[in-house]
């Protein structure tokens, strides 16, 4: 048994029971419940302001000195659009059946409101930093608005574990599997290349990561959507049956939910919510870290921009993967493997499905897509980690970041050569801990975000120009760092 095998066995023994309890009895219901509360409280923000969200993505401008609204969105999308969109959707189909896709959609719909709440809070309570880039996120609004320093420290530690180690390993693992399946590249070669490519960007800081994400994310997202749209059009006759299968399976009807594969409604719900959250990160507390870096005139504007990111990530890109798989013969293999008690690798399922539709080009395309998807996610993960390391260590933050970067790069290497189950189990564990902490915080703080939203909409209705925020709108403006919204 190798050192990595021993590490995997030890970690799985500890994290699997805790992770299972969190997801089965706490987080699934807390996530959906919070999303419903925020949807009602914002009067269906995701429906009535959807067009405005899309418009803001292209019209909200910054000064050019810091991080723009679009760069902040691109950074958060870089983190969100990755393993979860390709491998995660396939794993959800394997473990929960087509019904998992329905619950993934529902998670995204309520998640739009959740993302708005947490990202608006991130903007309101952001702080200045010596490099000219704002810092913010759950650790900051938990301390400033709730006054719970211990809770903010707990969250920051969980995020560093999740994004600095678990998620970087998960993304690197998927890149390695994709390149091995598409081009026969050995995992150790991918590991070395990833470490070098990642180091080149992350040593330039958050601004460097934002600029890189701004270039990669739009191209990869549009390219993947166009390929999936082509497959959908070519197979249009099968689309009605596919949609019916998704909806029926979500509620226990149809051959998938009650047939030989033995899928249950609970499995569809759990896997749909779990993979949906991993993909769009709504309520997890990660996206506010990117949102807070943006230069905007009003916090709600960036909250709306980031909320639209859930639409792009889950309702569009994840749906593309589901379409590619369900319209291929690969889904029959999933059923057979599940019935036989076999395990399958998520990215391999997506590659096989794309190859079914497009031949050898499909396999190569997925290998390249997952490389850029997951590579940009690794970069964004480092940005989130740096923000929270900076929070934990204060004036010593820059030195702490310099010390921890080599360890984070080491995790990229380990993730590339480790087994899939180890990486995903650890990622689910860390994600569950930080999401639970953040959801509790934003359920206590969401009235503040609602006050900010009402101010934003009031200014829009007045027709006096772009809304501009003043901290006097808040009940306790002294909680905001001086100079931020003056």
Give the range among 14-18, 185-189, 277-281, 284-288 with minimum mean pLDDT: 277-281
**Residue 423 reports pLDDT greater than 70:** no
Res 246 pLDDT > 80: yes
In the block, tokens 């380990």 appear at: 414
Give φ, ψ of 137 to 5 degrees.
Answer: 140, -175
Residue 122 counted as domain residue: yes
What pLDDT shows up at residue 5?
65
Residue 120 has pLDDT above 90, yes or no: yes
| Domain assignment of residue 293, yes or no | yes
User: Which residue did the predictor score with more confidence, 201 or 311?
Assistant: 311
Written as six digits, the tokens of 68 are 């723009």
Q: What's the pLDDT at 259?
A: 41
196-216 mean pLDDT: 80
Q: What would the DSSP string read from start to end of 292-350?
A: TTB--S-HHHHHHHHHHHHIIIIIIIIHHHHHHHHTSTHHHHHHHHHHTT----HHHHH
| In-domain check, residue 486 | no
Q: HSE on the CB side for 188, CA within 13 Å?
A: 0
Instruction: Please tell me the total count of domains within the chain.
Output: 1
Of 305-309, 310-314, 392-396, the poorest mean pLDDT is in: 392-396
The residue written with tokens 């749909």 in the block is 272
CA distances from 157 to 266, 387, 394 (A): 31, 11, 14
* 364 domain residue, yes or no: yes
Given a contact cutoff of 8 angstroms between Cβ atoms, the answer to whether 43 and 279 are in contact is no
Residue 371 · residue 185 · CB < 8 Å? no
What phi and psi values does residue 463 have, to the nearest 5 degrees? Answer: 70, 25
207 found inside a domain: yes
Instruction: For residues 177 and 146, give the distance between their C-alpha atoms in angstroms, rounded to a whole number.
Output: 43
CA distance 279 to 108: 9
328-376 pLDDT, tens per residue?
877 666 666 556 555 555 667 777 788 888 887 887 887 788 788 888 8
**Considering the domain boundaries, does residue 485 fall inside one?**
no
Q: Give, for 180, the enclosing helix (H) or strand (E).
A: helix 168-183
Q: Determine the Cα–Cα distance for residues 335 and 332; give it in Å rounded to an integer.
A: 5
What CATH number does residue 134 fall under?
1.20.1740
> By residue range, what is the domain housing residue 475?
3-479
User: pTM for the whole thing?
Assistant: 0.85
- Are 314 and 280 contacting, i.e. CB atoms less than 8 angstroms apart? yes
* Rounded Cα gap, residues 186 and 190, in angstroms: 7
pLDDT at residue 71 tops 60: yes
């Amino acid at each position: 048994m190798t050192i990595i095998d021993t590490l995997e066995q030890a970690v799985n023994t500890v994290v699997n029971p805790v992770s299972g309890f969190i997801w089965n009895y706490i987080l699934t219901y807390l996530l959906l419940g919070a999303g419903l509360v925020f949807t009602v409280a914002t009067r269906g923000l995701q429906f009535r302001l959807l067009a405005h969200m899309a418009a803001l993505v292209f019209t909200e401008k910054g000064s050019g000195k810091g991080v723009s609204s679009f760069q902040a969105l691109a950074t958060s999308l870089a983190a969100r659009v990755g393993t979860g969109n390709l491998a995660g959707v396939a794993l959800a189909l394997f473990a929960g059946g087509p019904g998992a896709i329905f619950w993934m959609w529902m998670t995204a719909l309520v998640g739009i409101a959740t993302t708005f709440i947490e990202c608006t809070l991130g903007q309101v309570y952001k702080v200045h930093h010596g490099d000219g880039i704002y810092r913010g996120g759950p650790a900051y609004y938990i301390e400033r608005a709730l006054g719970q320093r211990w809770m903010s420290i707990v969250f920051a530690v969980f995020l560093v574990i999740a994004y600095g180690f678990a998620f970087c390993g998960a993304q690197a693992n998927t890149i390695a599997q994709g390149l091995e399946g598409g081009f026969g590249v050995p995992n150790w070669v991918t590991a070395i290349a990833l470490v070098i490519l990642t180091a080149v960007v992350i040593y330039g800081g958050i601004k460097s990561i934002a600029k890189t994400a701004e270039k990669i994310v739009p191209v990869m997202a549009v390219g993947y959507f166009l390929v999936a749209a082509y497959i959908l059009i070519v197979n249009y006759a099968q689309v009605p049956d596919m949609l019916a299968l998704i909806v029926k399976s979500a509620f226990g009807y149809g051959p998938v939910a009650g047939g030989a594969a033995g899928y249950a409604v609970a499995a569809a719900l759990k896997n749909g919510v779990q993979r949906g959250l991993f993909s769009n990160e709504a309520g997890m507390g990660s996206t506010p870290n990117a949102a807070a870096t943006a230069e905007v005139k009003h916090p709600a504007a960036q909250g709306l921009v980031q909320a639209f990111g859930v639409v792009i990530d889950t309702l569009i890109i994840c749906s593309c993967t589901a379409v590619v798989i369900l319209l291929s013969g690969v889904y029959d293999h999933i059923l057979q493997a599940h019935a036989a008690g076999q395990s399958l690798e998520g990215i391999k399922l997506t590659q096989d499905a794309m190859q079914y539709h497009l031949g050898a080009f499909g396999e190569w395309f997925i290998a390249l897509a997952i490389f850029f998807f997951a590579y940009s996610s690794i970069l964004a993960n480092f940005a989130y980690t740096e923000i929270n390391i900076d929070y934990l260590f204060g004036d010593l933050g820059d030195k702490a970041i310099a010390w921890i970067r080599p360890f984070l790069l080491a995790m990229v290497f380990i993730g590339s050569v480790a087994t899939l189950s180890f990486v995903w189990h650890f990622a689910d564990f860390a994600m569950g801990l930080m999401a639970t902490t953040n959801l509790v915080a934003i359920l206590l703080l969401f009235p503040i975000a609602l006050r900010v939203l009402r101010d934003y909409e009031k200014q829009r209705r007045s027709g006096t120009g772009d809304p501009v925020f003043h901290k006097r709108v808040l009940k306790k403006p002294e909680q905001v760092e001086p100079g931020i919204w003056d």
